[in-house]
Structure 1
Amino acid sequence: MSLRQFEYALAVAEEGSVTAAAELLHVAQPSVSQQIRALERELGVELFARTPTGLVPTVVGRAFLREAEAAVSAARRARATARAGADELVGELTVAVQMGFGTRQLPGALGALRRRFPRLEVTVFEEPSSAEMERLGRRGTLDLALMAVCERSPADAHHLGDEEFVVVLGAGHRLLATDRVELRDLDGEPWVRFDRDSALDGVLLDVLLENGLTPATVARVSQTATAVRWAAHGLGVTLVPASAVPHGHEHLARPVSPPVSHPVIAVVRHAAGPAETALLELLRQETWSEPFFAPPPGLIPAIGTLGIHPGR
């Protein structure tokens, strides 16, 4: 038996099919099938029942998969701590970010981490869904997650700060004349929202309902930068973390009243290694909870200089 076989079996159990597991692992489908058959032959048991709806772990398979997951997690920790010392850290680090949070802070922390440990391989991806983040964390796929909400124990969750939310308005919008937008003044505005199961859309919807506003949704997007750019073109207004406003669009963002903020939490895996610990400390050193200030009217650039063309 090999760790690769364990990883293949865990992926098949997670996805419910060899094809989906192969896509997840970025390998050829025949390779996954062959490794699963070889594993079952060596063990002398059937790990998966072939059903019309896909592959389902058998009773023996479920027991095996629990041990396989523990073995894979242990191997990943061993790789991450291999040759760890004062001047060197070699291994892999997988980081997930809930869409829009830590946009300004994470790149700086990761840059410092790579300079300190140049041989450390870091993979970062965005995941908008809170449920999916929780699932990946339980599976042991993530070493560190940067997220807005967390149901983990206090030992795993670390409050880094709070993200202030700002409303982004279209060029020429009447409310750009104010330093802070009253939420009640957004009544009747069309909204650019996010995927239904995303943390950002949950924050937006809660804010609107708490202030007696019913959103008229004109679009749903998957990325904060897209929401900002669409709002800038006048499609509708949107609400995003201040740090997620792309450079060049700050003049279209305004803080809101009542103020809206949300805690940002770093969740590290159980028995965190030196790489996760180092990244967590670097994230703590970043500036969080920084108030957002809109530029004075005299400093607002001309629309054409930013490539924003209303009406197009």
Structure 2
Amino acid sequence: MKLSHIRDILAVAEAGSLRGASRKLGITQPTITRSIRDTENELGQSLFMRQPHGVVLTEAGHMFVRRAVAIQSEVRHIFEELEQAKGRFVGQVSIAVSAAASISIVPTVLQKFYKRFPQALLRVSESLLQPIESDILSGEIDFFVGPLYENRAAAGLTVEKLFDNRRIIVARRGHPLASATTLEQLQGAAWVRPSFSDRRDEADFEAIFERAGLPLPNIVMHSRSATVTVLAIANTDMLTILPIQWLDEFALGGQYIDMIPLEQPLHAAPVCIVRRGDLPLTPLAEGLCDMVRGAGLNYGMRLSAGR
């Protein structure tokens, strides 16, 4: 089996058709067909099921692709690391960040990264950890920056805490409950329950009231959009709970929305760097990781100081 066979099969799996893979790779369909046939003959199993409008992976095909993605990522890392060891910082770095990390860390890092590595390609996706754990393990994503709930990470991943995050109660400017200092004083309000990424957001929202010994609030709106949530808060008397970084993101503090400062802070999952534990990052990715580490630690210090 050749690396070109792996390349061709992954392209077909992603495109869902030979024609799409041919366009993506710039090679002929017969060449791709031979790659698939040769690989299937070597393995003794079919990787694709042909359909009228394309192809889909068989069960064996899914198993092949899962391993092949890791192989292709490591081959790319080999070439990039060798080039970077010569002082030529070319290639790419792929990271996933949570919304809170994208606000508090990424803007600080971008200018430094491109000043130091002007020829590099940076790929950034927004996610929580759980959906992309397998991508970190396969090498598709170099590392993740964001909250780590209950210190849970898949086997093979290492965790480095950057800072303890916190949440805030958010209301429109001039809200009648703006002077409240406890959750109990907010019990009569209507609430928006945000769930921007997964069900864990909802569970965390409810747990805040349970830990305070209070009944669940009057939830009148569920929102999977940060923008819609903030607009709803800015234009009604509804309240919500968000990571403190959202005030910076929307630059609305003091104009449209503001926080209700409670006596007891609402803690959130710590923001961490999560990466593979069995292989080092490329020099380029390690350089970015160092920048993220510095920016995260500095932000955590400002947050602890009451910023």
Same fold (TM over 0.5): yes
What secondary structure is seen at the aligned counterpart in 2 of 1:78?
helix
Q: What is residue 100 of structure 1 aligned with on the other side?
A: 100
Compared CA separation, residues 222 and 6, structure 1 to 2 (3 A): farther
How many residue pairs get aligned? The number is: 283
Q: In the TM superposition, what is the alpha-carbon distance from 1:191 to its structure 2 partner?
A: 2.3
Does the 8 A contact of 1:255 with 1:293 survive in 2?
no
Q: What is residue 198 of structure 2 aligned with on the other side?
A: 197
| Identical columns (%) | 22
Q: What is residue 258 of structure 1 aligned with on the other side?
A: 264
Q: Deviations over 1:198-244 (max 9, x none)?
A: 55444323223333242414131333x44233312226212121122
Q: What is residue 206 of structure 1 aligned with on the other side?
A: 207
Compared CA separation, residues 106 and 196, structure 1 to 2 (3 A): closer
* Unmatched runs of 5 consecutive residues or more in structure 2: none
TM-score (ref. length: structure 1) = 0.74
Q: What is residue 168 of structure 1 aligned with on the other side?
A: 170
Q: What is residue 309 of structure 1 aligned with on the other side?
A: none
Q: What is residue 282 of structure 1 aligned with on the other side?
A: 291
Q: In the TM superposition, what is the alpha-carbon distance from 1:119 to its structure 2 partner?
A: 0.8
d(CA) in 2 for partners of 1:283 and 1:186? 37
**Larger helix share, 1 or 2:** 2
Q: How does 1:1-312 map to 2 (within 5 A)?
A: 6-7=6-7, 9-10=9-10, 18=16, 37-45=33-41, 46-49=46-49, 55-59=56-60, 61=61, 64-65=64-65, 67-85=67-85, 88-127=88-127, 129-149=128-148, 150-152=152-154, 156-177=158-179, 181-192=181-192, 193-195=194-196, 197=198, 199-211=200-212, 212-215=214-217, 216-223=219-226, 225-234=227-236, 236-245=238-247, 246-251=249-254, 252-261=258-267, 262-269=269-276, 270-286=279-295, 287-289=298-300, 290-291=303-304
What secondary structure is seen at the aligned counterpart in 2 of 1:118?
coil
Q: In the TM superposition, what is the alpha-carbon distance from 1:29 to its structure 2 partner?
A: 12
Compared CA separation, residues 218 and 82, structure 1 to 2 (3 A): same
d(CA) in 2 for partners of 1:191 and 1:34? 59
Q: In the TM superposition, what is the alpha-carbon distance from 1:249 to its structure 2 partner?
A: 1.9
Does the 8 A contact of 1:130 with 1:199 survive in 2?
no
TM-score (ref. length: structure 2) = 0.75
Compared CA separation, residues 103 and 255, structure 1 to 2 (3 A): farther
Q: In the TM superposition, what is the alpha-carbon distance from 1:124 to its structure 2 partner?
A: 1.1
Does the 8 A contact of 1:242 with 1:292 survive in 2?
no
Which range is displaced more, 205-214 or 61-70?
Answer: 61-70
Compared CA separation, residues 34 and 258, structure 1 to 2 (3 A): farther
* Unmatched runs of 5 consecutive residues or more in structure 1: 295-312
